[in-house]
Each structure stands twice: as C-alpha cells, then as structure tokens.
Amino acid sequence: MTVDTPDFSVALKRTPLHADHVRLKARMVDFGGWDMPVQYSGLVDEHKTVRTAVGLFDVSHMGEVNVEGRGALEFLQRLTTNDASKLEIGQAQYSALLYPNGTLVDDIIVYRRGLDSFFLCVNASNAEKDFAWMQEHVPSQGVVLQNVSESYGQIAVQGPRARELVQKVVDIRIAELKYYHFAEGKVLGVPALIARTGYTGELGYELYVPSSATSKVWNALLEAGDAFGVKPCGLGARDTLRLEMGYLLYGNDMDNTTSALECGLSWVTKFEKCDFIGRDALLKQKEQGLGRKLVGFEMIDRAIGRHGYGVHVTPAVGSPVGVVTSGSPSPTLGRNVGMAYVPASHAALGSEIYIDVRGEAKKARVTKKPFFTEGTASK
C-alpha cells in the first residue's frame, strides 16, 4: 500500500466515520486525498483478528454510481470487460473499465439491482475520473448516470464470524446470501444494500448505508461484536490481507500503463460477449504475445521486496527488467511475499528472480497466487 505525502495546503476529504476514528485513537494518514485510519491496535493484530474472528473497515471513501434505463445493460456491455448480461438481479460481478489501448481505467464491482438498474462501486481515487469516463461514453438517450458517492457510507465486516455479527443488525436472513450476491434490506431500520463481498479472502459483507447513518451502524456493529472479538481495522491490515490473497490494488498492481492481460484480468475479460472498449487492443496483444506479466513471488533471501523495487533476472544489479508492485511480510504465513511485473520469459512458476533491495540483489521465486488458501470467503 502506498500512502501519499500530505499536502497541507489542500484539505483532506473525510468519511462519515472520521470523528469515530479520531475518538478511537486511530493513526490517520493521507490516502489518495482522504484522511483515513491506517491502524488502531496495530497492523498485525488487526490482520489476525480478521483471519480468526471479525474486523470492521471504513471503506466509505469508495465511489458509487447508479446506471439506469432501458439501455443500461447495453451500455455496461460496451464499457466493461466482464459479461454483465450473465448477472441475475441480486448478483454482483467483478469487472474492469479499459481505455481503447487495453489499459486500466479502473477495476469495479457491478451490482444488478433490477432489469435495467445497476449499481457500481469504483475505487476512491478514481471516482471522479471513472464517472467522467462513463459520461463521455453514455448514449444520448436510454441511460441515466448518477454519481451517488456522497450519499453512501460503506462498512466492510470481514472475518469468519462476520455472518453472526451482521445478522444481529440486519432484517434479512444473510445465511441464504451467496458469495457475490446482495440483498436490499435494512440495517438498524435504515435502508441498505447488503453485499456478500470483500477484499480480505474471509467471509464478509459490505454494507452500503446512507451517509447520515454510517456512524450509527459502525458503533452498533462494534457493540454487538464484543462477543465475537470484533475490532476496528485500518488500511494497513486491509493491504496485507488483500496481498495474501493476490488481490490487485489500483495504482500499485495496475493502472493506465498496464493492460488487463498483463495484470492477470483475463478471467474477467469476455472477448466473446460483444465489442467493448479495449477489446481490439487486447486481442492484438494476445495474438502477439505478452512481453511482461504480473506474478506472485516469495522471497528466498532474508529481505522484503517492497513497492517500487526493481526486478532483475540475474544477481547483477543493473537496469531493472521489472518492478515490484506490492510486497510485505505475510502475518498469516510468516513469509515475505509480493507481486511484480517480470518479463514473460521469467513468469513461469518456480522461476528465480532478484529484487533490488537498497542496492543488493535479493533472491526470490515466482510462486502461485493466492499465497494464502485457507480463507472463508466462499464458505
């Protein structure tokens, strides 16, 4: 996870839970222009709480967009890589927005609320850019776009005991909610979108609630979760949890310089569905072969490969042939892991690579993702 250097001349944005974070004595940082909690009790403690019990994350900085109208599905089919026509009402889908050259505008989640009604969750730092991109391509008739980001707060409840906790505050039977499905219900009497999604690899739910009710819901979850060992968690633990699962982070592992195929999003790129923005460029890249790929790696030498470190294919540290995009110690596995772009010739499992750690070549091995395979997300 990269944390921006604060620019004190610009006021940081605040989520509806900002006062709660300050009251709980969270360590706050500038994250993409938002004043966000990076940790409360400590990164490792929060990480292990999510793996063994349940943690709460404030993700209200994420952006939300409504897409409605008779042309909504056709519009999303043209705009996104995945096949939105496969979505049933009440189902969610991971997808991506591409530029014509096949690189990433953003990765998103698409929720189908009705026959002609969709709800998109986009990355916080990209919300305005994404909405502008959608407006640029929206047809003159048949589709209504609304940036509703300021209307929602979002709380992620993640961990093996998340279901027990969430059931205490919602009015639906969440045991019946399948992975990557959602329901419209109420949380403490407040209308909410209750989604069985997450970014940690554990059983979890993301609660989209009105901004004005976010603090009420957050504190009720903390109170109701005492019996389950609940803890508030910051961006630090969120980053190590997602890294153990090999989940990508926009701005680190993918951006407008990396193609959907290079970063490994071929599994949500449905070439057969219809023409979509970026399709031709990706087909050409597929035909010509990839020059580089995003891979998982585990350090062999005693060192940590961190974001921005150069990657080499020999012990001689010269001009790098790749770069580490994410890397840290894994609190669950006790190993140092990461992801990096490497030449396609060195992307095979078991290939040895070298990370430039402060001028010294440290050996690593390309390994399979996810690094952690015991998560409860789909259980």
The string of pLDDT tens digits covering residues 313-337 is 999 878 999 999 999 999 999 999 9
pLDDT at 299: 98
Task: Give the count of beta carbons closer than 10 Å to the beta carbon of residue 168.
Answer: 14
pLDDT at 219: 98
One-letter amino acid of 37: P
Tens digits of residue pLDDT in 244-289: 999 999 999 999 999 999 999 999 999 999 999 999 999 999 999 9
- Position 122 pLDDT exceeds 60: yes
Torsion of CA 159, 164, 167, 169, to 10 degrees: -80
How far is residue 143 CA from its own chain's centroid?
A: 27
Tens digits of residue pLDDT in 154-207: 999 999 999 999 999 999 999 999 999 999 999 999 999 999 999 999 999 999
Q: For the sheet containing 231-233, what is the strand order?
A: 182-187, 190-195, 204-210, 152-158, 55-58, 231-233
pLDDT at 104: 98
Whether this model's pTM surpasses 0.85: yes
At residue 309 the predicted structure's pLDDT band, cuts being 50, 70 and 90, is: very high
Tens digits of residue pLDDT in 55-67: 999 999 999 999 9
pLDDT at 318: 83
User: Considering only CA atoms, which of 115, 109, 88 is closest in space to residue 97?
Assistant: 109
Give the range among 21-30, 89-98, 314-323 with minimum mean pLDDT.
314-323
Report CA Rg, the chain: 21
